[in-house]
Amino acid sequence: MTRLVELEESGPRRLEPSDIDDEKGDIAVCQCGLSDSFPFCDGSHRATRDEDDDATYVYEDGERREVERVVTVDESDG
Ligand code: FES
């Protein structure tokens, strides 16, 4: 599966000691791109559990839709 996500930040977010979860004692970094607390996991990844391996998805306004992924190659970069 592939997910298309939009991110607006253009630089890093330094982790601070206060980012450590008081109960679990760890920091969970989002890898699915869906978290409302990005870069931290907020559990939104649960929505991806039934994604098909060969599909590409976009999540908008709480809805998931499958999209066709078009990959172009610029042969002048050769
Ligand atoms: S990994 Fe993205 S919300 Fe958990």
Edge-first strand order for the sheet with 56-60 is 2-4, 56-60, 63-67
Q: Which domain holds residue 48?
A: 1-9+30-69
Name the residue at shortest CA distance from atom 1 of ligand 1.
Answer: 30
* 78 assigned to some structural domain: no
Q: Is residue 45 part of a domain?
A: yes
- Separation between Cα atoms, residue 48 and residue 32, nearest integer Å: 8
Separation of 48 CA from ligand 1 center, angstroms? 9
Q: Is residue 54 part of a domain?
A: yes
Query: Would 37 be classed as within a structural domain?
Result: yes
Give the tens place of pLDDT for each residue, 3-52. 999 888 999 999 999 999 999 999 999 999 999 999 999 999 999 999 99
Q: Is residue 22 part of a domain?
A: no
Per the structure, the count of domains in the chain is: 1
Residues 11, 21: contact at Cβ < 8 Å? Answer: no
User: Quick check: is 21 in a domain?
Assistant: no
- What is the model's pLDDT at position 62? 87
Ligand 1 centroid vs 36 CA: distance in angstroms?
9
Reading the block at residue 51, the tokens are 């994604």
Task: Specify the pLDDT at position 78.
Answer: 61
Two tokens, residue 65: 């839709």
Report if residue 41 sits inside a domain: yes
